[in-house]
Amino acid sequence: MTRDSSFARRLLPGACASIALAALASFAATPALAADAVVLYTADGLENLYKDVLPAFEKKEGVKVNIVTAGSGEVVNRATVEKDSPKADVLVTLPPFIQQAAQSGLLQNYQSVNYKNVPAIAKAPDGAWATFVNNYFSFAINPEVTKTAPKTFADLLHPNYAGKVAYSNPATAGDGMAVIILTSALMGEDKAFDYLKSLEQSAKFHTKGTGYLDVLLSRNEIAFANGDLQMDLDDAANGGLSIKPLFLSHAAGEAPTTFQLPYAIGLIKGAPNHAEGKKLIDYLMSADVQAKVPDIYGIPARTDVPLAGKNGDTVKQAISGVKLIPVDWNQVMQKKAGWTDRWKNEVIGNSGKQTEVVKPKS
């Protein structure tokens, strides 16, 4: 699931990690990465965590971390294109794209010693991947503009939202695919696509990734978007954006509903710097780094690291009263291609609507 990175506006000068922000369209133009670097392909949303923790890793190991940040689907697509000659060592992405990467043979099994405190349900039994940062799918508004927040999916069909809704492309963004996952779980697949077809009348466009939607919300260019709890809270607190995450109910009187949408980490098969890639995974899954995950409003993946502190309390409060539903990611993988085709054919159709809006190059 992808988020078009909002890192460029938040990166402080002098940050130690070498950062390459790239959309898939410009991947071919990305310069060759230094052989003395460990290369991380990552879904956007964790930029502030990387900025905080990677300098210590670089100093200890004497190696740079080059980061390519894009949407979940985009980073997996790039790794797929490069499968016969990998350029990256470590992959961080959202489900179902981490499962896609594993099934496509992009990942090498690696049982990090720091996976032992990750619950079995949150990691692949063969070590192909493990949850790195827990998170929840959410939606978002600009609270300074939208004074009365929508409560149900039906609320978004009101004329007040005409031309003011946007969500990320399910083909390229994990959070975009999450829109289909949640509506299908609540309504059934056919009714979910009927709903999305109706919602399209209110949609202004769709973005290639999700992070840029927070910027557009804050600029009042749209009134409602999809997102995820960690990214939206972090953008509001640390990115200076006017963003408020929320959760929707299937129907009036019902509890708002969502599901876990974690970042997962894996080692890329045939990577040029496997040894340092393994060290980077061990480091990011260490108790010290996991203890800093709440700083960016994420939830530690390790059960021995608590969701603590002021930001942890904010996350707990945000999810209070929200019904969590389980997701069978293997079933999602089976449905993913068909859902993507249905979205392109039935929802977008011949509308000519933009489906890959990205942040303009500065």
- Whether 227 and 144 map to the same domain: the answer is yes
Q: Is residue 344 domain-resident?
A: yes
Q: What is the strand order of the sheet 165-166 is part of? A: 203-205, 165-166, 224-228, 137-141, 244-246
In a domain, 361, yes or no: no
pLDDT at 361: 82
Residues 150 and 276 in one domain: no
Note whether 131 and 147 are same-domain residues.
no
Residue 127 in this model has a pLDDT that exceeds 70: yes
What's the mean pLDDT when you consider all of the chain? 90
CATH number at residue 121: 3.40.190.10
Answer yes or no: do 29 and 46 share one domain: yes
**Cβ-based neighbours of 237, under 8 Å, separated by 6 or more:** 297, 311
Based on the domain organization, do 128 and 268 belong to the same domain? Answer: yes
18 neighbors 191 (Cβ within 8 angstroms): no
Q: 30 and 169 share a domain?
A: no
Distant-in-sequence contacts of 300-309, Cβ < 8 A, 24+ apart: 300/133, 300/134, 301/118, 301/122, 301/130, 301/131, 301/132, 301/133, 301/134, 301/262, 302/114, 302/117, 302/118, 303/117, 303/118, 303/119, 304/117, 305/117
Tokens of 175: 């959070």
Based on the fold, state whether residues 197 and 336 are members of the same structural domain.
yes
As a whole number of angstroms, the distance between CA 40 and CA 69 comes to: 8
> What letter represents residue 24's amino acid?
L
Say yes or no to pLDDT of 129 above 60. Answer: yes
Whole-number Å distance between alpha carbons of 101 and 58? 27
Domain that holds residue 216: 137-259+321-348
Please count the structural domains in the chain: 2
298-308: burial string, b at 16+ Cβ within 10 Å, e else: bbbbbeebebe
Chain segment 197-252, per-residue pLDDT in tens: 999 999 999 999 898 999 999 999 999 999 999 999 999 999 999 999 999 999 99
Which residues, 6 or more positions from 184, have their beta carbon under 8 angstroms from its beta carbon? 192, 335, 339
- pTM for this entry: 0.85
